[in-house]
């Protein structure tokens, strides 16, 4: 894992449900350059399972997946 820099963009999907969570994350990824970090804040088990898997499946690097009692944090490095 390469060093983690400041996120280029932050996306908050805590008020959304699937599939809108992934739609919002994809839009966030489209707004940054390859190699930059997208920080995602989410809530619930479904996005915690689905968002890292979807990001990795599209060639992005899941740098950090930090679950907690309420709000989860995800860092995604945009792939090429």
The residues assigned a catalytic role are 18
Residue 19, preceding peptide bond in cis (omega within 30° of 0)? yes
CB contact at 8 A, 73 and 64: yes
Separation CA 16–CA 51 (nearest Å): 12
Q: Which tokens belong to 79?
A: 């792939």
């Amino acid at each position: 894992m390469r060093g983690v820099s400041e996120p280029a963009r932050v996306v908050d999907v805590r008020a959304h449900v699937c599939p809108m969570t992934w739609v919002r994350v994809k839009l966030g990824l489209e707004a940054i350059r390859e190699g930059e970090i997208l920080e995602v804040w989410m809530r619930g088990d479904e996005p915690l399972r689905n968002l890292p898997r979807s990001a990795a499946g599209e060639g992005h690097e899941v740098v950090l997946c930090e679950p907690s009692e309420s709000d989860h944090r995800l860092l995604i490095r945009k792939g090429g």
